Chain A
Amino acid sequence: MTTPKSMKYESERDHDFSEWITGVVGSERIRNCIQCGICSSTCPVSHYMDYTPRRLINMARQGFKDEVLRSKTIWLCTSCYSCTTECPKLIKVTDVMYALKRKAIQERVYPRRFAIPILGKEFYKMVRAKGRITESRLMMIFMLKTNLLRIFTMSKMGLRLIRTGRMDYKPESVKRIKELQAVMDASSDRKGVSTS
């Protein structure tokens, strides 16, 4: 009996990509990885990932751009920083995940119907417009865009939050929004990249 196995070929590697990732702030040490797997074993969600963090790090530095950027792994990272704390080679694995998320959005190859990038985007849009998040509004918009059914399972919780005064109707906003937007626009790495 044969087991299916996919082979990787030199021609599939993108050297510019592996060059790029080592140049990103926080990802400099990626070439020092000894593939010990501590990042994967300490990760609370690695068993849900398509590639474990250890594998993803290796694939990223080898330049397998497409697989890396399209993986669900980067979106499953909860930013708990266990991997970063435990890495014996001081690789900031969480920062690597962030860098890959941003790249996947830039190149528009993130999993389209996957809920997590949608949440990131809605969060971003609300901050751009108001300067602050109004949690209840963000959750509502997010549910409408991703999972209508979950609104029903969560309505009971919503009612209890309203009753205890934890749902805010009034949108939170900063006063000097122009000042804030000027800071945001001047710091953006994404000039010319649409946020919609």
Chain B
Amino acid sequence: MKYSYYPGCSLKGTGKAYEESVLAIFETMGVEANEIDDWNCCGATAYMGVDESMAFGLAGRNLALAEREGATDVVVPCNACYLSLNKANKYIEEYPQVKEKTDKALAAGGLKYGGSLKVRHPLDVFVNDIGLSRIKDAVKTPLKDLKVAPYYGCQIVRPYAAFDSQRNPTSMDQLLDVLGADVVDYPLKTRCCSGSQTGSLPEVGLRLVYILLKEAKRRGADVIVTICPLCQFNLESYQDEVSKRYKEDLAIPILYFTQVMGLALGLSAQKVGLTRNLVHVFPTLDKREVGHV
């Protein structure tokens, strides 16, 4: 299996652990993922609101570069980047005026996009390309007794339900299940984490984070597992502030689904970036005697 890989800005910054764990798992599962040479910002949310055509131009350059390298599927771990590239891909196909504009813009940079690519999320690749049975066979240390709340975030299934249900996605639930974890029913799984508003408008953003943390705790989860760097950052980094604001202890480890997967596949804590977490999962793992770290 061979894919083109688009990391996006977060995976080179605050979301380093996500990149480390994604790549470690690709290696373990024999997936070849080549980072797109000289990729640029995906034209994410903040950008769409300033200049939409330019956002499509930015996404278009990434798609053009990947296509030139001979890729057919681009794997994008960040939900926001995943949506940006997906949306550009779809709008270029759907709206002739978008295609015309993007073509012209790319030509100005000496590039061309033929529209042949598929934008994929690693979760999609694991569940639908590698398959749950192969992953189950590769599990070395099952995550016995670890209660996990699966948190998908919004942009993975909205507005496009490319590989899972829009209202009640279950692919990560199934994946966690074959890893041996105890999957908690978490109905807020696609509720918004507030995106960048934790920074720009704390009274709004922190409230949304509070709702998510509180619900996971109330349902007895030991950890929340995410698939998006911004969700991970919001839920983890603001825990102190949220706990103080709402006078409740809301401390809970927030892991990337690939970190949890790595542990089950027998990879070291270092290899899946667990030492980069601010709220450590080690005490929880020790208590539950889950695998070795």
Say whether B56 faces chain A, with CB atoms less than 8 Å apart.
Answer: yes
Q: Which residues of A contact B (CB under 8 A)?
A: 25, 44-45, 48, 76, 78-82, 84-85, 92, 94, 97-99, 101-102, 105, 115-121, 123-124, 127, 131-136, 139, 142-143, 146, 150, 153, 156-157, 160-161, 164-168, 172, 174-176, 179-180, 182-190
Partner of A180, one of B16, B51, B53, B109: B109
A44 to B208, CA, bound (A): 8
Say whether B201 faces chain A, with CB atoms less than 8 Å apart.
Answer: yes
User: Is B158 a contact partner of A135 (Cβ separation < 8 A)?
Assistant: no
CB < 8 Å A-B pair total: 201
User: Is B16 a contact partner of A174 (Cβ separation < 8 A)?
Assistant: no
Q: Which 5 A-B pairs have the closest CB atoms?
A: A187-B57, A187-B105, A186-B108, A81-B158, A80-B192
Say whether B263 faces chain A, with CB atoms less than 8 Å apart.
Answer: no
Known: A25-B52, A102-B52. 16 other contacts (CB 8 A): A80-B192, A101-B50, A119-B46, A119-B200, A123-B44, A157-B238, A166-B13, A174-B38, A174-B39, A182-B109, A183-B105, A184-B105, A185-B108, A186-B104, A186-B107, A188-B54
Partner of B194, one of A45, A92, A124, A143: A45
Which residues of A sit under 8 angstroms from B285, Cβ to Cβ? none
User: Is A142 a contact partner of B199 (Cβ separation < 8 A)?
Assistant: yes
12 example contacts (A-B, Cβ-Cβ < 8 A) are as follows A25-B98, A81-B155, A116-B200, A124-B47, A133-B9, A161-B278, A172-B9, A174-B40, A179-B61, A183-B57, A186-B109, A189-B54
Partner of B204, one of A45, A94, A179: A45
Say whether B116 faces chain A, with CB atoms less than 8 Å apart.
Answer: no
Which residues of A sit under 8 angstroms from B278, Cβ to Cβ? 157, 160-161, 164
Known: A78-B192, A164-B277. A156 touches B13 (CB 8 A): no
B155 CB to closest chain A CB (Å) equals 7
Instruction: Please name the residue on chain B nearest to A133 by beta carbon.
Output: B9
A175 to B65, CA, bound (A): 13
Which residues of B sit under 8 angstroms from A168, Cβ to Cβ? 12-13
A187 to B91, CA, bound (A): 15
Main secondary structure of the interface of A (DSSP, over half): helix
Interface string of B150-163 (1 = CB under 8 A from A): 00001100110000
Known: A82-B192, A124-B47, A136-B13. A189 touches B53 (CB 8 A): yes
User: Is B237 a contact partner of A127 (Cβ separation < 8 A)?
Assistant: no
A49 to B240, CA, bound (A): 26
A182 to B53, CA, bound (A): 13
A95 to B38, CA, bound (A): 29
B81 CB to closest chain A CB (Å) equals 11
Known: A131-B40, A135-B13, A166-B16. A183 touches B58 (CB 8 A): yes
User: Is A78 a contact partner of B54 (Cβ separation < 8 A)?
Assistant: no
B49 CB to closest chain A CB (Å) equals 4
User: Is B111 a contact partner of A183 (Cβ separation < 8 A)?
Assistant: yes
Say whether B276 faces chain A, with CB atoms less than 8 Å apart.
Answer: yes
User: Is B53 a contact partner of A79 (Cβ separation < 8 A)?
Assistant: no
B148 CB to closest chain A CB (Å) equals 22
User: Is A142 a contact partner of B200 (Cβ separation < 8 A)?
Assistant: yes
Known: A25-B91, A179-B109, A180-B109. A150 touches B202 (CB 8 A): yes
A146 to B196, CA, bound (A): 14
Partner of B275, one of A25, A143, A164, A175: A164
Instruction: Please name the residue on chain B nearest to A84 by beta carbon.
Output: B159
A72 to B56, CA, bound (A): 25
B282 CB to closest chain A CB (Å) equals 14
Q: Which of B109-146 contact A (CB under 8 A)?
A: 109-111
A161 to B108, CA, bound (A): 39
